[in-house]
Structure 1
Amino acid sequence: MNSESVASLLVEAGSLMLIGMVFVFSFLGLLIVGIHLIARFCEAFPGDIEEPAVNVKRNNQTVQPGIDGNVIAAISAAIHTHRQNSKK
């Protein structure tokens, strides 16, 4: 390799690196600006705030609203059976 080809390769590599770094920096800057704009939009128009689901404790088990008691009983029975069978 002669020195002219090495120099041209280094210049090309440097320019590609610089272009890539500028692209990434500008993309991240636009991303930050976009996130701030979305945050301001959400503060201006908050919408309906839903109340979090309340967990109810029953017999040392947490029961979430919407889950049928029969389903919980079936899962508990299956776990108990599995634990009993795996001890043997």
Structure 2
Amino acid sequence: MAAESVSSQLMEAATLMLVGMVFVFAFLSLLIVGVWLIAKFCEAFPGEPETQPSVKRSPAKPMPATAKEENSSVVAAITAAVHMHRQSNK
């Protein structure tokens, strides 16, 4: 392997590196300018604000007596279980 071939390979590598870095720099610069332009466009033309669709709710129906009793018994059972757990882990 001659010294000429090593130096020519190094020059080719440096050229390739420089071209790649210039390409990446140009792409990122264009990307930044593009995002900046889109931001300015959105500031100039904000569009219409979104409106939330109104949902008509029906009046709350009272719970049947059995459901209330089941609810209170479930709450009582959960409360007792939490109390027992706290007592056993003191």
TM-score (norm. length: structure 2): 0.55
> Structure 1 CA distance, aligned partners of 2:31 and 2:39?
12
Q: Which runs of 5+ in 2 are unaligned?
A: 55-90
Residues 19/53 of structure 1: CA separation in 2 closer, same or farther (3 Å cut): farther
Q: Who is 1:40 aligned against? A: 40
When Rg is computed on C-alpha atoms for both structures, the one with the higher figure is 2
Q: Percent identity?
A: 65
> Structure 1 CA distance, aligned partners of 2:53 and 2:40?
27
- The one-letter code sitting in structure 1 at the alignment partner of 2:19 is I
Q: Who is 2:30 aligned against? A: 30
- The one-letter code sitting in structure 1 at the alignment partner of 2:44 is A
TM-score (norm. length: structure 1): 0.57
Alignment map for 1:8-87 (pairs within 5 Å): 8-51=8-51
Runs of 4+ off more than 3 Å: 51-54
> Structure 2 CA distance, aligned partners of 1:49 and 1:39?
17
Residues 49/11 of structure 1: CA separation in 2 closer, same or farther (3 Å cut): same
By relative contact order (CA 8 Å, sep 6+), the higher-ranking structure is 1
Task: Give the structure with the larger strand fraction.
Answer: 1
Query: What's the offset of the Cα at 1:25?
Result: 0.4
Query: What's the offset of the Cα at 1:51?
Result: 3.4
Matched pairs, number: 55
* RMSD value, Cα: 1.9
SS of the equivalent of 1:51 reads: coil
